[in-house]
Amino acid sequence: MTRATRYDPKRFRALTWFDATAAFADGSDSPRNYLERCLEAVDALEPVVQAFAALNRETARAAADASTTRWKDGKPLSPIDGMPVGIKDLLETKDMPTQLGCAAMTGNFPKNDNAAVWALRQAGAVIFGKTVTAELGGNHPGPTTNPFDPSRTPGGSSSGSAAAVAAGFMPAAIGSQVGGSIIRPAAYCGNFALKPSQGGIHRGERQATSMSTHGPHAGSIEDMWQVAIEVASRCGGDPGRAGIQGPMTTPTAAKPDRLILLETDGWARTDADSHAAMDELLESLRSRGVQILRRGDHPLIESLEQALVGAGDLANTITAWENRWTLRNLIDNRGDGVSERIKARVGVVEALSPDDYRQLLWRRENLRAAWRMLAPLADAFFTFSCPGPAPLWPGDVPGQPLAPRPTGDAVFNTPSSLAGAPAVTIPMLAVNGLPVGVQVMGQEGDDARMTAFARWIHLNIDPVAVG
């Protein structure tokens, strides 16, 4: 059983929380009832979707009951008090194991709460389950399937978070992105998601790399923002960073006057149907008075496009270098439980020197300079969130070379990761019955502003279905 045979953005109704809480105060509904409906969806769909690495029904029910009492008493801890939230299985949770999608980490159960998990509990959220991650946040996939077609990937590495929201298991889930791990799976699964500015949400124990972030997937932009701000207002940003700030309710929809359309290396890798859908969307934006600027329109846009050539390799190599000791230790100690994909990556990066790494950082600085200098020219960057719908994933074939991108292509995601920039993906396109997201990206610190633009686009522009 799957949720839908074809995704139709005009008819698809994601699970939402923000419009459910009014009934909690008058007792016509409750967080416990809400949770039970989620569990019913899990019972029906999880055998195919396989979004969970761990699920703790009884602690979730106890937390939902406590929340029910608070709402009845008129004293919810926050607007997300009682919200069932999934946690990507890279982040530590004190009441469930943290196994990082990696066989070598089987049974790992540090009984700690990541800073964001701590903040969610402080806000009253129900920590519902651990959602499947691709191995160690890389691209070696777990068992999760795409809720709109089980023969396809849900994307990665936040595979379970994206699929759980799309399957209606929960209104929001925490993902994380180093290269493309929040925005891409969300886009393949028809979710909203925020990849925060670098440092926007405290990463707790996960500080190892210079461009990873934690951020929410959600069925609505309201829930997406509410989760982000409830977390950030409690645990703040990364060490040394101010972190996400902004209104304590969803930012008011704001019309962008000018958007810079970024092609990146992804433009040429995107199928004709998706391009046709994007063309129609851009036309629709123009008809509402939004000016679309692109590489021919301004030399600095061209400069940024050129700085973005090879962005995927650049991002992957920087991160692989930063993870090399962690991965080397893991391989040396428990190599049997580490995939060949990870081993191959470590082998490549161990040939690099600190001077090679410094060169990569300098390329990233170059790119950031062009990104920043374009701030005055337009309100935001705009492009696909993924190069077409989620690809088929039949699994690796024993004896054959490993498939290069089993969780899809992060080509449209590495630019904002490299820039340290906030990105919001919006489910605006359907291509051959599958979701394809589009994203707005801003300058560091523009998280609330990008949410406001995304909200305007979603409210004012009709989604486009092609194929």
Q: Tell me the window of 3-11, 76-84, 237-245, 275-283 that interacts with a copy of itself (CB under 8 A).
A: 237-245
Selected binder of a copy of itself within 113, 222, 265, 379 (CB under 8 A):
113
* 147 binds a copy of itself per the rule CB under 8 A: no
d(CA 197, CA 443): 8
- Least separation in angstroms between residue 353's CB and a copy of itself is 8
Spacing of C-alpha 142 from chain mean position: 16
| Beta carbons of 62 and 121 less than 8 angstroms apart | no
Query: Which among 44, 53, 38, 52 has a CA at the least distance from the CA of 4?
Result: 44
| Beta carbons of 265 and 311 less than 8 angstroms apart | yes
**Residues 6 or more apart in contact with residue 207 via CB below 8 angstroms:** 238, 239
Q: Tell me the window of 147-155, 228-236, 308-316, 388-396 that interacts with a copy of itself (CB under 8 A).
A: 228-236
d(CA 467, CA 464): 10
Selected binder of a copy of itself within 112, 303, 366, 432 (CB under 8 A):
112
- Least separation in angstroms between residue 325's CB and a copy of itself is 5
- Least separation in angstroms between residue 317's CB and a copy of itself is 13
Strands (E), 69-143: 84-88, 126-131
* 322 binds a copy of itself per the rule CB under 8 A: yes
- Least separation in angstroms between residue 198's CB and a copy of itself is 9
- Least separation in angstroms between residue 230's CB and a copy of itself is 12
β-bridge partners, 96: 93
* 458 binds a copy of itself per the rule CB under 8 A: no
Q: Work out the number of other CB atoms within 10 angstroms of the CB of residue 59.
A: 15
User: Given the structure tokens 């609330």, which residue do they identify?
Assistant: 448
* 2 binds a copy of itself per the rule CB under 8 A: no
β-bridge partners, 85: 127, 172
d(CA 273, CA 270): 9
**Backbone region of residue 97 per phi and psi (left: phi > 0; alpha: psi in -120 to 50; beta: other values):** beta
Q: Is the peptide bond before 159 cis (omega within 30 degrees of 0)?
A: no
* 58 binds a copy of itself per the rule CB under 8 A: no
Q: What is the DSSP letter of 112?
A: -
If the CB atoms of residues 16 and 210 are measured against a copy of itself, the closer one turns out to be 210
d(CA 36, CA 30): 10
Q: For a copy of itself, what does the binding mask look like between residues 250 and 289, x meaning CB under 8 A?
A: ----------------------------------------
Selected binder of a copy of itself within 224, 232, 320, 436 (CB under 8 A):
232
Selected binder of a copy of itself within 22, 208, 392, 459 (CB under 8 A):
208
Length of the chain: 467
Selected binder of a copy of itself within 47, 107, 239, 395 (CB under 8 A):
239
Structure tokens at 464: 């486009």
Selected binder of a copy of itself within 95, 205, 271, 302 (CB under 8 A):
205
Q: Tell me the window of 29-37, 111-119, 380-388, 426-434 that interacts with a copy of itself (CB under 8 A).
A: 111-119
* 399 binds a copy of itself per the rule CB under 8 A: no
- Least separation in angstroms between residue 62's CB and a copy of itself is 18
If the CB atoms of residues 325 and 459 are measured against a copy of itself, the closer one turns out to be 325
* 107 binds a copy of itself per the rule CB under 8 A: no
Q: Tell me the window of 206-214, 215-223, 299-307, 400-408 that interacts with a copy of itself (CB under 8 A).
A: 206-214
d(CA 128, CA 61): 9
Kindly compute the dihedral angle of the four CA atoms of residues 373, 377, 383, 385, in this order, to the nearest 10 degrees.
50
3-state secondary structure of 427: strand
* 372 binds a copy of itself per the rule CB under 8 A: no
* 177 binds a copy of itself per the rule CB under 8 A: no
Chain residues that interact with a copy of itself, rule: CB under 8 A:
94, 110-115, 118, 202, 204-205, 207-211, 232-237, 239-243, 322, 325-326, 328-329, 332-333, 354, 357-358, 361
